[in-house]
């Protein structure tokens, strides 16, 4: 009975940690979306609204009307593009339709084309499409790691490997960036490691980070 009680206590703690991790992750996602909506779409729609009001100005010349109309069309198009980008960020269509492997391939292609970073992706696992609700967390983890590699670590090369390690499905992510001091990692808020740890906890896995200054960074997580 003591063993059974201890097991139930551990199970309860694990479930509580997963729930807390889920809440942290959801709130982080909500904050990011709210910021995108406020900073990007709202600002563009404000310009559209202002120019619509300008059209009611008396005695406008045809040239003024043409310029105002051009601005309205331009910023409406920008708002639509921002809306598509945010929607794609929330749930990439390729991930929903074709699964995690295709989603990561598209992510790597985007990184190669838009950021100038060379990404090497190798997958020795078979992702079950039925687990796609969990796979979104893996996708988000890779997004966060890539963002850190490009914006903070100044990396020019990224490696992503999925394989079986110690009987667990594992992802090994590494870059050739400037690295970081592991002792400062716990106090760092800019690396998004809290988000990553939360998502790994939801996947019932563990995560480890190896890095040193000017020697890149390696993040290993299983699920």
What CATH code is carried by the domain that includes residue 200? 3.30.565.10
**84 lies in which domain range?**
2-90
Q: Which residue, 72, 90, 108, sits at the end of a domain?
A: 90
Q: What's the whole-number average pLDDT of the chain?
A: 85
Residue 189 has pLDDT above 60, yes or no: no
Same-domain check for residues 119 and 83 = no
Q: Which residue, 35, 59, 90, sits at the end of a domain?
A: 90
Per-range mean pLDDT, top range of 66-75, 92-101, 189-198: 66-75
Rounded Cα gap, residues 76 and 60, in angstroms: 22
Rounded Cα gap, residues 223 and 20, in angstroms: 18
Number of domains in the chain: 2
pLDDT of residue 135: 92
Q: pLDDT category, 7, cuts 50, 70, 90? A: low
Residue 191 is given by DSSP the state T
Rounded Cα gap, residues 191 and 146, in angstroms: 10
pTM of full prediction above 0.75 = no
pLDDT of residue 220: 97
Same-domain check for residues 79 and 125 = no
Same-domain check for residues 115 and 216 = yes
Same-domain check for residues 102 and 200 = yes
pLDDT of residue 191: 52
Q: Percent of the chain having pLDDT more than 90?
A: 49
Same-domain check for residues 70 and 156 = no
Query: What is the mean pLDDT of the segment spanning 2-8?
Result: 63
Q: Which residue, 90, 109, 128, sits at the end of a domain?
A: 90
Label the pairing between strands 207-211 and 217-222.
Answer: antiparallel
- pLDDT tens for 22-41 read 677 677 777 777 887 878 88
Q: pLDDT category, 169, cuts 50, 70, 90? A: very high
Residue 5 has pLDDT above 90, yes or no: no
Same-domain check for residues 49 and 103 = no
Same-domain check for residues 110 and 185 = yes
Query: What is the mean pLDDT of the segment spanning 99-119?
Result: 92
pLDDT of residue 17: 65
Nearest to 177 by CA among 91, 105, 98, 117: 117
Same-domain check for residues 73 and 109 = no
Same-domain check for residues 36 and 83 = yes
Same-domain check for residues 21 and 106 = no
Same-domain check for residues 37 and 105 = no
Same-domain check for residues 49 and 109 = no
Per-residue CA distances from 215 to 74, 91, 180, 207 (Å): 45, 33, 8, 19
Q: pLDDT category, 1, cuts 50, 70, 90? A: low
């Amino acid at each position: 009975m003591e063993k059974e009680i201890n097991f139930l206590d551990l199970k309860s703690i694990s479930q509580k940690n997963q729930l807390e991790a889920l809440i942290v992750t959801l709130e982080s996602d909500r904050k990011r979306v709210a910021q995108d909506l406020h900073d990007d779409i709202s600002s563009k729609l404000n310009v559209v609204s202002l120019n619509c009001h300008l059209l009611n100005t008396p005695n406008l010349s045809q040239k003024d009307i043409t310029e105002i109309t051009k601005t309205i069309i331009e910023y409406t198009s920008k708002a639509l593009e921002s809306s598509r980008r945010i929607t794609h960020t929330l749930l990439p269509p390729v991930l929903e339709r074709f699964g995690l492997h295709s989603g990561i391939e598209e992510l790597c292609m985007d990184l190669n084309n838009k950021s100038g970073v060379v990404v090497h992706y190798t997958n020795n696992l078979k992702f079950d499409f039925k687990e796609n609700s969990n796979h979104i967390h893996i996708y988000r983890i890779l997004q966060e790691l890539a963002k850190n590699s490009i914006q903070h670590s100044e990396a020019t090369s990224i490696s992503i490997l999925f394989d079986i390690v110690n009987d667990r499905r594992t992802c090994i992510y590494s870059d050739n960036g400037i690295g970081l001091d592991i002792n400062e990692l716990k106090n760092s808020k800019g690396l998004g490691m809290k988000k990553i740890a939360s998502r790994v906890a939801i996947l019932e896995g563990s995560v480890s980070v190896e890095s040193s200054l000017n020697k890149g960074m390696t993040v290993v997580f299983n699920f």
